[in-house]
Amino acid sequence: MYFYGDPDMNSPQSVLDLIGNTPLLKLTKFDAGPCELFVKLENQNPGGSIKDRTAKAMVEAAESDGSVVPGDTLIEATFGNTGLGVSLVASHKGYPVILVVPENAGRDKVLHLKASGAEVLLARSDVESSHADYYRNIAHRLERELPSGFYLDQFNNPANTLAHEHGTGPEIWKQMGQRVDAFVCGVRSGGTFTGCTRFLKQMNPALDAVLAEPKGSLLADSTDSKKAAVAGSSLIKNVGSHASPGNFDPDVVDHTYTVTDMEAFSAARDLLRMQGIFGGVSTGLHLAAALRYCRQQKKAKRVVTLVSDTGYKYLSTAYDRAWLLNQGLIPQRHYGDLRDLITRRADEGDVVSVSPDDTLIAAYTRIRMYDVSQLPVLEDGRIVGMIDESDLLMAVFDKREYFEYPVRDFMITRLEMIEPDASITSLLPVFRGDHVAIIADKEKFYGLITQVDLINHLRNSMSNHD
């Protein structure tokens, strides 16, 4: 029998002792063809990702060779996960941390990094790797400018690769009973893929090393001699690259699978829905590639991939239906009229609204919860009014008790509605008046179109013509 707090149970002495030795699980709800597919749950690391291993290894290697001494400042360029790992290690060891993060890394991760105590510098995300404002170049510059600064550089630091060659890879081999036929993984810094593959190929020279890359990554094309390398863009920010990192060894790659954004985001959500595993977007990338590899095999194989990080870092993106709709990652019915521009459609139950009898405090709560500035007022499926932040403020500024009054007393009822079959240019006068467009006819309310919705429509139209 186990008793919590038993002094004989060799309890961990610090959070760093909890890094690694993560569980491995067989997936049973997916069609893996003739193969058995296993996932190593790296989201169970204390910082929520496999990058905890990388951070710990790099910091301890720098301490061992004297590159870092007490009082030094650790610097890292990161899309989030490595930075979180560095902050975790640094907080335990007492080092200040500066993290350079591309501005498109994601709000959830940036908030997490700041909460961890790190100084976060946002870098431009629209520049090439040769530009002075590229996030990795800023980190190099900081190291030169700060006398006590040390840039860990996950992309070229050999300790990154060794963390997986001596840690993650051997764990997989042991947990799989020394029977692994294929390993599927993406590349950002290159350490995980290269380190794990090197060890596993030493144990099984016949092992297939499968590279999973997002569409638009140059690494996928660079490992396929039949393709010309053409850079693109992807919403999967922590995997894939337009330049090969120093830790990536392309010679160990046996197969490459390119995964679209829609495939990766869908696979991540399927993993949660079908297996109860809450992984991030790179996990979806790994799963989509692994399933494709498994289904193409002619004989049974034991295949391993990674749940690289936790889905909690993507609540406002990968697991937010409105965001997915804005990005075109969830298929919607196409009407060929203005309804195609509506993100939150009434007929699909996505509209955030209030009824005339709801109180102002209820309206205020929904505006805050869903991060919107106005709400349609619906009654029996028809729009009867609108209420926005200004209406609320004017109502309650002098009389706080009005928070308990019904919306019908303060809503705007003179509404200008646009029918679905109107031209797209009919939206412009509404937007010039700083209003939202109400799409409805005499019988039905369909939804609202904001200026951002129109911008997204124009952007997606441009992408479809590329």
Mean pLDDT, rounded, of the chain: 90
- pLDDT value, residue 231: 46
The answer to the question of residue 5 being in a domain is no
- Please tell me which residue in 40, 51, 201, 237 is annotated as part of the active site: 51
208 and 86 belong to one structural domain: no
Sequence-ordered strand ranges (E) for 394-436: 417-418
User: What's the pLDDT tens digit per position in 258-295?
Assistant: 999 999 999 999 999 999 999 999 999 999 999 999 99
The answer to the question of residue 329 being in a domain is no
The reported pTM is 0.85
The answer to the question of residue 407 being in a domain is yes
147 and 276 belong to one structural domain: no
437 and 359 belong to one structural domain: yes
29 and 172 belong to one structural domain: yes
CATH number at residue 111: 3.40.50.1100
194 and 277 belong to one structural domain: yes
Burial class for 405, CB neighbours closer than 10 Å (0-12, 13-18, 19+): middle
Active site residue 282: yes
The answer to the question of residue 10 being in a domain is no
Residue 221 above 70 pLDDT?
A: no
Residue 216 above 80 pLDDT?
A: no
141 and 174 belong to one structural domain: no
Which run of H or of E encompasses 274? helix 261-275
Number of structural domains in the chain: 3
Radius of gyration of the chain (CA): 26
- pLDDT value, residue 59: 98
Domain boundary among 130, 151, 172: 151
232 and 146 belong to one structural domain: no
User: What's the pLDDT tens digit per position in 300-335?
Assistant: 999 999 999 999 999 988 999 888 987 888 888 889
Residue 180 above 70 pLDDT?
A: yes
Residue 223 above 60 pLDDT?
A: no
CATH number at residue 451: 3.10.580.10
The answer to the question of residue 59 being in a domain is yes
- pLDDT value, residue 233: 53
The answer to the question of residue 248 being in a domain is yes
Tokens of 207: 């092992």
- pLDDT value, residue 462: 67
342 and 449 belong to one structural domain: yes
Q: How far is CA 362 from the centre of its chain?
A: 31
Residue 437 lies in domain: 335-465
Q: Out of 114-128, 254-268, 329-343, pick the least confident.
A: 329-343
Domain boundary among 248, 283, 314: 314
Q: Out of 303-312, 415-424, 449-458, pick the least confident.
A: 449-458
- pLDDT value, residue 333: 85
- pLDDT value, residue 457: 85
- pLDDT value, residue 331: 81
24 and 90 belong to one structural domain: no
Domain boundary among 132, 151, 170: 151
- pLDDT value, residue 1: 29
pLDDT band, residue 105 (cuts 50/70/90): confident
Residue 6 above 70 pLDDT?
A: no
Residues near 377 by beta carbon (within 8 Å), at least 6 away in sequence: 353, 354, 355, 356, 383, 384, 385, 386, 387, 407, 408, 411
- Please tell me which residue in 87, 116, 266, 282 is annotated as part of the active site: 282
| DSSP for 34-48, written as a single string | TSEEEEEEGGGSTTS
28 and 170 belong to one structural domain: yes
182 and 310 belong to one structural domain: yes
33 and 123 belong to one structural domain: no
The answer to the question of residue 157 being in a domain is no
